[in-house]
Chain A
């Protein structure tokens, strides 16, 4: 039994990859730079932008691109924010502040430390009353997010935004979170419909097979090894390619997905 979904929009933001066209250029052989200019979101008020943690800016950059490409207002879709670690910077802040006992925790930084902070700010910023959820699968966060978003799209009534993101580590916490390059990517997913202008039509089924995908440029493989969110790259390459193709996104723990691109 497979799940069938349409991909209506894509977004990506990472060092050297400012957007979808940037990724296509790298896939076509352009060199990958380390420059990362994160755009400022227009969805939050200046006050909220000051209060929001760094994961908001990182995840929103990809999410807004995917909504724009799909021509879907950001407040409409249900949304799934998937991240291996959540906010490593705030985890470092809290552990450090608690260890030093020198000052009380900042209430704002504490409530921003929840794993669903980016999801919460997305609901606040877009005015979305639909469900905006937050998941994690550690190294399997890309495929876990895709499973949650595609089962929602297949069993629900509307489009679903998937945002997969993880930021770099800092402080002593780099011992458990050594990620060096931030990465975020987003997909706008819907149940199949002839009315959709879809980028691709996919069939997904659970699979416990190993990772399988065509060769990617070495620089992108490095990103996949560095940051769990970048493990979405084989799927993005599948979407960028022409013609039918199939990949397997394996999970380290539990089942992953076999993904077949049936048509563009």
Chain B
């Protein structure tokens, strides 16, 4: 597995940030964007060279994808998986929300340069999945899940089904989402963006910070060198509103309960929770209520979004990797920037990192359209 986000490119850099309590957020310096906010921008994305043979895929999302594939020896690891099973038996299932729209945003700003439009392969939701599959030489089923902020959590479930059904023996899963004007101004229009570094579960939280990330993992049944196991998942809909969660967290509750039931686990067996925790006033209150409903007294829970920003379609893979790191390192990070937790309902949010016996972790991802996904990971 690997992740590249504002908190670092690759697991070693991310571990250093986690151990040093060093957030990857910065005052907004995204090109051509004057919004007063903080962002989780990944350094150097603009300068990542796309090979001439892959020019048709030129866009920020694919440059970020390539930077991500270069970390932690991930591409080499996939090469060995491909050799073991054969390219046609390895699937590629990635999540995204932004994909390559930034390429078209730039083209519209310079109408005299119509050649600035990317190729047809750049601005579409599937661009990065295809780019990654071609870069890694994968020839199994290639599919994009695009359900806003639950996208790259749901890839684990889709890939597991492909393997269960016999359409593949292994899968590269993950997600890539990049900063662009559409999401910066779009979330701002919904009044969900904070002008300060975000403070998930804090009493004074006032919105999210947008971020970008690329993250990948290899899913296969019964691997010899497993980092962790996918124990279960729950995917549900709110049937409520396009942009607001169900007020009682109905869909979130059933996603967590479905995940527990599919894993055959009791709530008390979960050691740690990586929350969706966007730091909007409503998300955090409703998610905390849903956690109380499912767990009674929840285990130590954190939001890692104050390290990374909300990476939207990549949030699922970023937080899945953070969940697996908690198992690998036997250490739960702090919920950064939660200084004064809401007294009545967020007392179970962990404010100090600590070593812990972590065998089972729940990771929550909730998105627009009322799309919910809860994943359960376990020690190998």
Q: Are A206 and B168 in contact (CB under 8 A)?
A: yes
Of the candidates A112, A119, A206, the one whose C-beta lies within 8 Å of that of B88 is A206
Shortest B166–chain A CB gap in Å is 3
Q: How many chain A residues have a CB neighbour from B under 8 Å? A: 66
Q: Once the chains are docked, how many angstroms separate the CA of A23 from the CA of B237?
A: 32
What are the residues of chain A within 8 A of B139 when measuring CB–CB? 208, 254-255
Known contacts being A112-B242, A116-B367, A129-B254, is A176 close to B120, with CB within 8 Å? yes
Q: Are B190 and A155 in contact (CB under 8 A)?
A: no
What are the residues of chain B within 8 A of A128 when measuring CB–CB? 237, 239
12 residue pairs of the A-B complex, CB under 8 angstroms, read A94-B101, A98-B181, A99-B111, A114-B146, A119-B369, A130-B237, A131-B235, A133-B147, A134-B147, A135-B144, A172-B108, A176-B124
Of the candidates B114, B130, B133, the one whose C-beta lies within 8 Å of that of A175 is B114
Shortest A94–chain B CB gap in Å is 5
B11 contacts the other chain (CB 8 A)? no
Shortest A166–chain B CB gap in Å is 10
B327 contacts the other chain (CB 8 A)? no
Q: Are A255 and B109 in contact (CB under 8 A)?
A: no
B206 contacts the other chain (CB 8 A)? no
Q: Are A176 and B242 in contact (CB under 8 A)?
A: no
Q: Give chain B's interface residue range (CB within 8 Å of chain A).
A: 35 or more
Interface residues of A (CB under 8 A from B): 1-3, 75, 83-86, 91, 94-96, 98-99, 104-107, 110-117, 119-121, 123-124, 126-138, 140-141, 144, 147-148, 150-152, 154-155, 172-173, 175-177, 205-206, 208, 251, 253-255
Q: Are A95 and B105 in contact (CB under 8 A)?
A: yes
Interface residues of B (CB under 8 A from A): 88, 91-92, 97, 101, 104-105, 107-109, 111, 114, 117-127, 130, 133-134, 138-148, 154, 158, 161-162, 164-168, 181-182, 185-191, 235-243, 250-251, 254, 367-371
Q: Are A3 and B148 in contact (CB under 8 A)?
A: no
Q: Once the chains are docked, how many angstroms separate the CA of A210 from the CA of B174?
A: 28
Q: Are A254 and B92 in contact (CB under 8 A)?
A: yes
Shortest B152–chain A CB gap in Å is 13
Q: Once the chains are docked, how many angstroms separate the CA of A100 from the CA of B45?
A: 26
What are the residues of chain B within 8 A of A176 when measuring CB–CB? 104, 117-120, 122-124
Q: Once the chains are docked, how many angstroms separate the CA of A114 from the CA of B123?
A: 14
Shortest A15–chain B CB gap in Å is 22
Q: Are A144 and B143 in contact (CB under 8 A)?
A: yes
Q: Once the chains are docked, how many angstroms separate the CA of A131 from the CA of B89?
A: 27
Q: Are A116 and B368 in contact (CB under 8 A)?
A: yes
Shortest B53–chain A CB gap in Å is 14
Of the candidates B92, B105, B140, B148, the one whose C-beta lies within 8 Å of that of A114 is B148
Nearest 5 pairs between A and B by C-beta?
Answer: A120-B369, A254-B142, A1-B166, A115-B146, A110-B186
Q: Are B167 and A136 in contact (CB under 8 A)?
A: no
What are the residues of chain B within 8 A of A147 when measuring CB–CB? 141, 143, 162, 167
Shortest B56–chain A CB gap in Å is 11
Q: Are A208 and B88 in contact (CB under 8 A)?
A: yes
Of the candidates A113, A116, A138, A175, the one whose C-beta lies within 8 Å of that of B127 is A138
What are the residues of chain A within 8 A of B368 when measuring CB–CB? 111, 114, 116, 120
